Structure 1
Amino acid sequence: MDLKFFKKSIPTLAIMAFFSVFMIYAIYTLLTPEKRLPIYNPSDVNPKLVDESVVHIRRNHKVADFKLINQNGDTITQENYNDKIYVADFFFTRCMTICPVMTNNIGKLQDVFINDDDIMFLSHSVTPVIDSISVLRAYADKKGVIDSKWNITTGDKKHIYKLARKSYFAVLDEGDGGLQDFVHTENFVLVDKKRQIRGFYDGTDNEDIQRLIADIRILQGEYKD
Structure 2
Amino acid sequence: MPKHERAEETRRRILEAAREAFASQGYQATGVAEICQRAGVTKGAFFYHFPTKQALFLALLEEWLTQLDRYLQAERARGSTVAQSLYAMADMLRLGLTQGRDYLPMFLEFWLQAARDPAVWQATIEPYRRYRTYFTDLYRQGMTEGSLRDSDPALMALVTVSLALGLLLQGLMDSESVAWEEAAPAAFRWMLSLMQTFPSTPSDPTPR
Higher-Rg member (1/2): 1
- The answer, yes or no, to whether TM exceeds 0.5 is no
Identify the structure with the greater helix proportion.
2
TM-score (norm 2): 0.23
Higher relative contact order at CA 8 Å, sep ≥6: structure 1 or structure 2? 1
Identify the structure with the greater strand proportion.
1
